Amino acid sequence: MLIKKIRTKYYIRPDEKVAAMVARLNEVKGHKYFVEAAKILKDKGLKFKFLIAGTGEMEEPLKKQIKELDLEDTVIMMGFVSNVTALMNLMDVQVNCSFGTEATSLSLLEGMSLGKPAVVSDFGGNPGVITDGVNGFMTPTHSVKELANKIELLFTDEVLYKKISTNCKKIYDTKFTAQVNTRAIEEIYKQVKK
Protein backbone atom coordinates (compact mmCIF):
# COMPACT_ATOMS: atom_id res chain seq x y z
CA MET A 1 0.00 0.00 0.00
CA LEU A 2 2.81 2.44 0.86
CA ILE A 3 4.48 1.69 -2.47
CA LYS A 4 1.28 2.58 -4.29
CA LYS A 5 1.06 5.83 -2.31
CA ILE A 6 4.60 6.79 -3.32
CA ARG A 7 3.88 5.99 -6.98
CA THR A 8 0.73 8.11 -6.88
CA LYS A 9 2.27 11.01 -4.95
CA TYR A 10 5.21 11.35 -7.34
CA TYR A 11 3.38 10.43 -10.57
CA ILE A 12 5.47 7.32 -11.21
CA ARG A 13 3.86 5.41 -14.07
CA PRO A 14 3.88 1.59 -14.18
CA ASP A 15 6.14 1.66 -17.26
CA GLU A 16 8.78 3.82 -15.55
CA LYS A 17 11.88 2.37 -13.94
CA VAL A 18 13.03 3.90 -10.65
CA ALA A 19 16.53 4.63 -9.40
CA ALA A 20 17.00 6.06 -5.92
CA MET A 21 19.64 7.62 -3.73
CA VAL A 22 19.05 7.42 0.00
CA ALA A 23 21.63 9.62 1.69
CA ARG A 24 22.13 12.87 3.54
CA LEU A 25 22.34 15.76 1.08
CA ASN A 26 26.05 16.50 1.55
CA GLU A 27 28.33 17.44 -1.32
CA VAL A 28 30.54 14.35 -0.83
CA LYS A 29 27.56 12.04 -1.39
CA GLY A 30 27.67 13.03 -5.08
CA HIS A 31 23.99 13.71 -5.72
CA LYS A 32 24.94 16.14 -8.50
CA TYR A 33 26.35 13.23 -10.53
CA PHE A 34 23.09 11.34 -10.05
CA VAL A 35 21.20 14.35 -11.45
CA GLU A 36 23.62 14.67 -14.38
CA ALA A 37 23.16 10.96 -15.16
CA ALA A 38 19.39 11.54 -15.24
CA LYS A 39 19.91 14.19 -17.91
CA ILE A 40 21.89 11.75 -20.06
CA LEU A 41 19.18 9.07 -19.77
CA LYS A 42 16.33 11.52 -20.34
CA ASP A 43 18.01 12.77 -23.52
CA LYS A 44 18.12 9.14 -24.69
CA GLY A 45 14.35 8.90 -24.27
CA LEU A 46 14.26 6.39 -21.41
CA LYS A 47 11.17 6.32 -19.16
CA PHE A 48 12.20 6.53 -15.52
CA LYS A 49 12.15 8.48 -12.29
CA PHE A 50 15.18 9.30 -10.13
CA LEU A 51 14.28 9.70 -6.46
CA ILE A 52 16.44 11.51 -3.91
CA ALA A 53 15.58 10.79 -0.28
CA GLY A 54 17.24 12.88 2.41
CA THR A 55 17.87 16.38 3.69
CA GLY A 56 20.95 18.52 4.08
CA GLU A 57 22.87 21.56 2.92
CA MET A 58 22.82 20.53 -0.77
CA GLU A 59 19.03 20.67 -1.00
CA GLU A 60 18.79 24.11 -2.63
CA PRO A 61 21.76 23.64 -5.02
CA LEU A 62 20.25 20.32 -6.15
CA LYS A 63 16.83 21.86 -6.72
CA LYS A 64 18.50 24.56 -8.80
CA GLN A 65 20.46 21.98 -10.82
CA ILE A 66 17.31 19.93 -11.46
CA LYS A 67 15.48 23.03 -12.69
CA GLU A 68 18.36 24.20 -14.89
CA LEU A 69 18.61 20.78 -16.55
CA ASP A 70 14.82 20.66 -17.09
CA LEU A 71 14.48 17.50 -14.97
CA GLU A 72 11.66 18.55 -12.65
CA ASP A 73 9.40 15.85 -14.11
CA THR A 74 12.13 13.21 -13.81
CA VAL A 75 14.23 13.80 -10.67
CA ILE A 76 12.19 14.03 -7.47
CA MET A 77 13.44 15.42 -4.19
CA MET A 78 11.52 13.48 -1.54
CA GLY A 79 12.97 15.16 1.55
CA PHE A 80 13.19 13.16 4.76
CA VAL A 81 11.65 9.70 4.33
CA SER A 82 10.60 7.99 7.55
CA ASN A 83 9.73 4.66 5.91
CA VAL A 84 12.76 3.85 3.78
CA THR A 85 11.64 0.22 3.39
CA ALA A 86 8.73 1.23 1.16
CA LEU A 87 11.10 3.24 -1.03
CA MET A 88 13.56 0.35 -1.15
CA ASN A 89 10.82 -2.00 -2.32
CA LEU A 90 9.66 0.50 -4.96
CA MET A 91 13.02 1.22 -6.58
CA ASP A 92 14.61 -0.91 -9.25
CA VAL A 93 18.18 0.33 -8.80
CA GLN A 94 19.95 1.87 -5.82
CA VAL A 95 22.67 4.42 -6.49
CA ASN A 96 25.59 5.58 -4.34
CA CYS A 97 27.86 8.28 -5.84
CA SER A 98 29.95 9.04 -2.75
CA PHE A 99 33.43 10.45 -3.07
CA GLY A 100 34.01 11.23 0.61
CA THR A 101 33.20 9.81 4.06
CA GLU A 102 31.66 6.51 2.94
CA ALA A 103 32.02 3.52 5.23
CA THR A 104 29.84 0.45 4.74
CA SER A 105 26.49 1.78 3.58
CA LEU A 106 23.56 0.35 5.54
CA SER A 107 21.30 1.54 2.74
CA LEU A 108 23.19 -0.64 0.24
CA LEU A 109 22.87 -3.62 2.57
CA GLU A 110 19.13 -3.09 2.96
CA GLY A 111 18.73 -2.85 -0.80
CA MET A 112 20.74 -6.05 -1.28
CA SER A 113 18.51 -7.89 1.19
CA LEU A 114 15.57 -7.02 -1.08
CA GLY A 115 17.37 -8.02 -4.28
CA LYS A 116 17.95 -4.46 -5.49
CA PRO A 117 21.05 -4.09 -7.69
CA ALA A 118 23.22 -1.06 -7.00
CA VAL A 119 25.39 1.22 -9.08
CA VAL A 120 28.07 2.71 -6.84
CA SER A 121 31.26 4.75 -6.95
CA ASP A 122 34.49 2.88 -6.31
CA PHE A 123 35.03 4.83 -3.09
CA GLY A 124 35.26 3.96 0.61
CA GLY A 125 33.29 0.94 1.76
CA ASN A 126 31.37 0.48 -1.50
CA PRO A 127 33.80 -2.12 -2.94
CA GLY A 128 33.36 -4.14 0.25
CA VAL A 129 29.65 -4.50 -0.47
CA ILE A 130 29.29 -4.42 -4.26
CA THR A 131 31.22 -6.73 -6.59
CA ASP A 132 31.25 -5.28 -10.10
CA GLY A 133 28.95 -7.21 -12.43
CA VAL A 134 27.84 -9.61 -9.69
CA ASN A 135 25.46 -7.78 -7.31
CA GLY A 136 25.68 -4.40 -8.99
CA PHE A 137 28.16 -2.19 -10.80
CA MET A 138 31.17 -0.20 -9.66
CA THR A 139 31.89 3.07 -11.47
CA PRO A 140 34.86 5.41 -11.22
CA THR A 141 34.29 8.25 -8.78
CA HIS A 142 32.87 11.37 -10.53
CA SER A 143 32.20 9.46 -13.80
CA VAL A 144 28.72 10.58 -14.83
CA LYS A 145 28.90 8.78 -18.18
CA GLU A 146 29.71 5.41 -16.59
CA LEU A 147 27.07 5.97 -13.91
CA ALA A 148 24.43 6.62 -16.58
CA ASN A 149 25.59 3.65 -18.68
CA LYS A 150 25.32 1.18 -15.80
CA ILE A 151 21.92 2.46 -14.67
CA GLU A 152 20.69 2.21 -18.26
CA LEU A 153 21.99 -1.36 -18.50
CA LEU A 154 20.03 -2.39 -15.40
CA PHE A 155 16.92 -0.54 -16.64
CA THR A 156 16.97 -2.19 -20.07
CA ASP A 157 18.47 -5.70 -19.75
CA GLU A 158 15.86 -7.79 -17.92
CA VAL A 159 17.89 -11.02 -17.96
CA LEU A 160 20.93 -9.30 -16.47
CA TYR A 161 18.75 -7.50 -13.93
CA LYS A 162 17.21 -10.77 -12.69
CA LYS A 163 20.62 -12.43 -12.42
CA ILE A 164 22.10 -9.55 -10.41
CA SER A 165 18.97 -9.28 -8.25
CA THR A 166 19.26 -12.98 -7.36
CA ASN A 167 22.96 -12.52 -6.57
CA CYS A 168 22.13 -9.61 -4.25
CA LYS A 169 19.94 -11.80 -2.06
CA LYS A 170 22.43 -14.70 -2.05
CA ILE A 171 25.39 -12.50 -1.13
CA TYR A 172 23.42 -10.70 1.57
CA ASP A 173 22.34 -14.02 3.10
CA THR A 174 25.87 -15.45 3.10
CA LYS A 175 27.88 -12.36 4.11
CA PHE A 176 25.81 -9.67 5.75
CA THR A 177 23.03 -11.04 7.96
CA ALA A 178 23.19 -10.48 11.72
CA GLN A 179 23.77 -14.20 12.25
CA VAL A 180 26.75 -14.29 9.88
CA ASN A 181 28.31 -11.21 11.49
CA THR A 182 27.73 -12.58 15.00
CA ARG A 183 29.52 -15.83 14.07
CA ALA A 184 32.43 -13.84 12.58
CA ILE A 185 32.79 -11.79 15.78
CA GLU A 186 32.65 -14.96 17.88
CA GLU A 187 35.48 -16.42 15.79
CA ILE A 188 37.58 -13.32 16.38
CA TYR A 189 37.07 -13.65 20.15
CA LYS A 190 38.03 -17.34 19.99
CA GLN A 191 41.24 -16.47 18.14
CA VAL A 192 42.11 -13.74 20.66
CA LYS A 193 41.64 -16.16 23.58
CA LYS A 194 44.17 -18.55 22.09
DSSP, res 18: E
Task: Please state, for a pLDDT cut of 90, what percent of the chain lies above it.
Answer: 73
Q: How far apart are the C-alpha atoms of 80 and 53, rounded to whole Å?
A: 6
Tell me the pLDDT tens digit for each residue of 176-188. Answer: 765 655 554 555 5
The full length of the chain comes to 194
Q: Where does residue 53 rank: exposed (0-12), middle (13-18), buried (19+ CB within 10 A)?
A: buried
Kindly report, residue by residue over 49-95, the tens digit of the pLDDT.
Answer: 999 999 999 999 999 999 999 999 999 999 999 888 899 999 999 99
CB atoms within 10 A of CB 162: 12
Of 168 and 184, more confident:
168
pTM of the full structure: 0.89
d(CA 20, CA 1): 19
**Cα 164 to Cα 105: distance, rounded to the nearest angstrom:** 19
Give 18: exposed, middle or buried? Use CB within 10 Å, 0-12, 13-18, 19+.
Answer: buried
pLDDT band at 107 (very low <50, low <70, confident <90, very high): confident
Chain segment 123-160, per-residue pLDDT in tens: 999 999 999 999 999 999 999 999 999 999 999 999 99
Strands 17-22 and 48-53: parallel
pLDDT for res 30: 96
| Cβ proximity of 58 and 33 under 8 Å | no
Tell me which amino acid residue 166 is: T
Looking at every residue in the chain, the average pLDDT score rounds to 90
Could you give phi then psi for residue 106, rounded to 5 degrees? -65, -30
